[in-house]
Amino acid sequence: MGYTKEEIKKLIEDGKAILGIEFGSTRIKAVLTDDNNAPIASGSHEWENHLDNGIWTYPMDEIHAGFKSCYKDLKKDVENSYGVKLKKPAAIGISAMMHGYLVFDKDGKLLVPFRTWRNTITEEASAKLTKCFDYNIPQRWSIAHLYQAILNKEDHVKDIAFQTTLAGYIHYMLTGEKVMGIGEASGMFPIDPATKDFDADMVKKFDEILKAEGMPYTLKEIFPKVLVAGECGGKLTEDGARFIDEDGELEAGIPVAPCEGDAGTGMAATNAVKVRTGNVSAGTSVFAMVVLEKNLSKVYREVDLVTTPDGSLVGMIHCNNCTSDLNAWVNLFKESLEAYGVEVDMTKLFSTLYNKALSGDKNCGGLISFNYFSGEGVTRFDEGRPLFVREQNANMNLANFMRTHLYASLATLKIGCDIMLKQEGVKVDSLTGHGGLFKTKGVGQSILAAALNAPVSVMETAGEGGAWGMALLAAYMVQKKDNETLPEYLSNKVFKDMKAETMAPDAADVKGFDEFIEKYKNALSVEATAVQNTR
């Protein structure tokens, strides 16, 4: 049974609520939970990245303003719902988009604009480090950005005193601590699961590179300290409290969990931190995570090796593009309807179009779409061009059109996952979907099941997302029993009675997606030509 409104009011006043905040690519979201991990209030702030001089970025003033706006929206929801001010949560956790490049000098000055995960500008560094480490280093990883800046002879690199991620930066602003959770850290530099720290041999190799390039620092001198879930990441300082809450009502001294990336919070929010569990997060980008029983047999450029928030090895397929192109087409239909004077309910429009896709041909009837707003590492694209192609005798109708764009949103993910699931024989006992693609009941779920030929579950909390997952990690820090592991805490405390709907793959859908993906892979040269000839 949940708490009454009066009980929640007292819980907030007594400082027992938990706060999780996540910086997503299009929205900053805050979730406040009770001490049983049920969401009781939320706040949000919409934002969007900018392409500035060829670099995908979020300006620092927008990062600060968005954070404050999101928290203010949460405070308003708390006060409107319960008639009480939010002053002292039991714990706070910060999460954000992983990877990227944020570097500061010894005085805390930002040296270059934030370079986000979306940038595919580090191909040379990525290839050289992968060969040097014998370990896949994707272009979006922080270490690839650092090495590329060094290879480019950028003036600022000699002045770096601190390198971090967006989550690590916000955590530092709140606590003054240069630390981060191990899952987030695993997107900066390879982790050794045995030591729960950056891989010592690889650190040594990179320090040799730094020395040869004349850099006046070692890697560990400029990188954050690695912490695992359950450890304390510091406490909210007076300056940190004023940074987040301009009204001056938030109290200092609140414990702050080690910051985590959106991959880690997604794993927590779907109870996918145990071996042979996995999850797929599908929104602006899409990624699949599978907790591995053992390392892969060899290095694959398509498969990233990261970790759970408690340090277990994870195989990750990350694709930069998922729903952006699909959303653009839905907005075009909205504009068309409005031209006829129809007032459009976007939730109903998405639901109608998504469900229409289910009646389309299983292989999309000769239609193909590439949803590449930006480059894609899995298919080796440094740039992208959204592109729709159809055969002249294609079965062109609304159902096939929508099905094609839904397939396209998961096509690159399937190409990568086939390496783990088919070539490496990785076993998955449960796979959970979450994110915007799954909001329309049964549609995204059935298409993902077809893409991966595996049962897919969607929990009733699927819409809560990473902010809730971060709140769970913060709650684990302050609520865990002696020697209670993160998987035990999540299974026993959070998900014990959680309802989930599981959908098995339909054989005809699987066959249709396989036929589509073969044509899709053959047509990648068309996408490459589009990129080459529209620069």
Instruction: Give the pLDDT score at 462.
Output: 52
Instruction: Give the pLDDT score at 439.
Output: 86
Quick one: what percent of the chain has pLDDT higher than 70? Answer: 99
List CB contacts of 412: < 8 A, sequence separation 6 or more.
Answer: 286, 319, 321, 376, 378, 379
Exposure string (b/e) for 397-429, b if CB count within 10 Å is 16 or more? Answer: eebbbbbbbbbbbbbbbbbbbbbbbeebebebe
pLDDT higher at 460 or 1? 460
Instruction: Give the pLDDT score at 465.
Output: 76
Instruction: Give the pLDDT score at 435.
Output: 80
- Does residue 389 contact residue 528 with C-beta atoms inside 8 Å? no
Instruction: Give the pLDDT score at 25.
Output: 87
Whether domain 1-98+165-188+225-258 has CATH 3.30.420.40? yes
pLDDT higher at 382 or 328? 328
Residues of CATH 3.30.420.40 domain(s) within the chain? 1-98+165-188+225-258, 100-163+189-222, 269-320+424-503
Instruction: Give the pLDDT score at 461.
Output: 62
Secondary structure element (H or E) that encloses residue 63, with its range = helix 60-82
Fold of 100-163+189-222: Nucleotidyltransferase; domain 5 (3.30.420)
Closest CA to 70 of 106, 22, 114: 22
List CB contacts of 17: < 8 A, sequence separation 6 or more.
Answer: 11, 32, 33, 34, 35, 40, 86, 89, 90
Is pLDDT above 90 for 2?
A: no
Instruction: Give the pLDDT score at 369.
Output: 98
Instruction: Give the pLDDT score at 145.
Output: 98
> In the structure, what pLDDT confidence band is assigned to residue 271 with cuts at 50, 70 and 90?
very high
The percent of the chain in helix, strand and coil, each rounded to the nearest 5, is 40, 20, 40
DSSP single-letter state for residue 362: T
> In the structure, what pLDDT confidence band is assigned to residue 120 with cuts at 50, 70 and 90?
confident
Instruction: Give the pLDDT score at 122.
Output: 95
Strand partners, 55: 52
Strand partners, 381: 376
Whether domain 269-320+424-503 has CATH 3.30.420.40? yes
Distances in Å between the Cα of 37 and the Cα atoms of 171, 446, 473, 495, 497 are: 22, 29, 10, 10, 12
Distances in Å between the Cα of 214 and the Cα atoms of 211, 221, 361, 505 are: 5, 15, 59, 55
**Secondary structure of 198-259 as H, E, C letters:** ECHHHHHHHHHHHHHCCCCCCHHHHCCEEECCCCCCCECCHHHHHHHCCCCCCCCCCEECCC
What average pLDDT score do residues 238-247 get?
96
pLDDT tens string 432-488: 988 888 889 899 999 999 999 999 999 876 556 789 999 999 999 999 999 999 999
φ, ψ of residue 251 in degrees (nearest 5): -90, 145
Q: Would you call 518 exposed, middle or buried from its count of C-beta atoms within 10 A (0-12, 13-18, 19+)? A: exposed
Tell me the three state secondary structure of residue 466.
Answer: helix
- Does residue 109 contact residue 36 with C-beta atoms inside 8 Å? no
- Does residue 14 contact residue 83 with C-beta atoms inside 8 Å? no
Instruction: Give the pLDDT score at 460.
Output: 72
Q: What whole-number distance in Å separates Cα of residue 449 and Cα of residue 438?
A: 12
Query: What average pLDDT does the structure give for the chain?
Result: 95
Residue ranges of E strands in 1-49: 18-23, 27-33, 39-46
Spell out the alpha helix ranges (H) of 319-442.
324-339, 346-357, 398-418
Is pLDDT above 60 for 141?
A: yes
What average pLDDT score do residues 419-426 get?
93
> In the structure, what pLDDT confidence band is assigned to residue 170 with cuts at 50, 70 and 90?
very high
Instruction: Give the pLDDT score at 358.
Output: 97
List CB contacts of 427: < 8 A, sequence separation 6 or more.
Answer: 276, 293
What average pLDDT score do residues 339-366 get?
97
Is pLDDT above 80 for 1?
A: no
Go through the chain and tell me how many residues it has: 535
What average pLDDT score do residues 283-300 get?
92
Q: What whole-number distance in Å separates Cα of residue 154 and Cα of residue 104?
A: 14
Instruction: Give the pLDDT score at 237.
Output: 98
What average pLDDT score do residues 173-195 get?
97
Instruction: Give the pLDDT score at 459.
Output: 83
> In the structure, what pLDDT confidence band is assigned to residue 382 with cuts at 50, 70 and 90?
confident
Q: What whole-number distance in Å separates Cα of residue 308 and Cα of residue 184?
A: 9
Distances in Å between the Cα of 465 and the Cα atoms of 56, 418, 435, 458 are: 23, 26, 6, 12
What average pLDDT score do residues 128-151 get?
96
